[in-house]
Homo-oligomer: A and B are copies of this chain.
């Protein structure tokens, strides 16, 4: 799904001007998130890196491919969570706890890319493909919550569909406030999400 084949990924190209594709993508994503994708030009990305526009085209075919690489990284990391044994081979409440914690981990590790993914509105076929993969991921988590509710692992007075969206809100909103250089570690954040989701804020007596 990535425009830049990862199977035959060469060692980062590091001739002059000294930027590999990761650095170009990272600069592009930062500008996309700050100014919006439409308002960001290849010239702005080049300026940001201090290289010429033609040097950028040495690394990527165009702006849409930069967006595609970033979206693919975000969604691939989320998809990978569901493939891990801890998300597949344990009692359903433990699997759900694992998935919520791992989602927080991906959000923190891929903060800029996930931020971009959450803002995509489907303006191009490529954006719609990314949104479709995100929806499939959301549905898989919703199914897990439904399964947990049916098994009696979750309280029965709340609608699983609503619960899913509220939990996604807690997690997705992290992109709005989390600062990677702040004091809050990803593990602590994951613990807090799981603590509220499963046990709430009231002290259990």
Residues of A within 8 A of B (CB): 36, 38-39, 93, 152-159, 162-163, 165-174, 176-177, 184, 188-189, 192-193, 195-204
- Cβ of B157 and Cβ of A195 under 8 Å apart? yes
- Cβ of A195 and Cβ of B158 under 8 Å apart? yes
A202 to B172, CA, bound (A): 22
- Cβ of B36 and Cβ of A155 under 8 Å apart? no
A199 to B162, CA, bound (A): 16
Contacts of A163 in B (CB 8 A): 192, 196, 201
Contacts of A39 in B (CB 8 A): 38
- Cβ of B204 and Cβ of A201 under 8 Å apart? no
- Cβ of B154 and Cβ of A166 under 8 Å apart? no
The verdict on A165 contacting B173 (CB below 8 Å), with A197-B201, A204-B204 known, is yes
- Cβ of A202 and Cβ of B199 under 8 Å apart? yes
Q: Pick the residue among B154, B165, B173, B192 that contacts A203 (CB under 8 A).
A: B154
Number of copies of chain A assembled together: 2
A156 to B172, CA, bound (A): 24
- Cβ of A202 and Cβ of B155 under 8 Å apart? yes
Please give me the residue from chain B that is nearest to A194 by CB atom: B200
Q: How far is the CB of A12 from chain B (nearest CB, A)?
A: 33
Contacts of A38 in B (CB 8 A): 39
- Cβ of B158 and Cβ of A169 under 8 Å apart? no
- 9 more contacts with CB within 8 A, not counting A158-B196, A195-B200, are A152-B203, A155-B199, A162-B192, A163-B192, A169-B170, A169-B171, A169-B172, A197-B201, A198-B201
Please give me the residue from chain B that is nearest to A165 by CB atom: B177
The verdict on A166 contacting B153 (CB below 8 Å), with A198-B201, A204-B204 known, is no
- Cβ of B195 and Cβ of A197 under 8 Å apart? no
- Cβ of B158 and Cβ of A201 under 8 Å apart? yes
A199 to B199, CA, bound (A): 6
- Cβ of A154 and Cβ of B202 under 8 Å apart? yes
A158 to B203, CA, bound (A): 11
Q: How far is the CB of A114 from chain B (nearest CB, A)?
A: 14
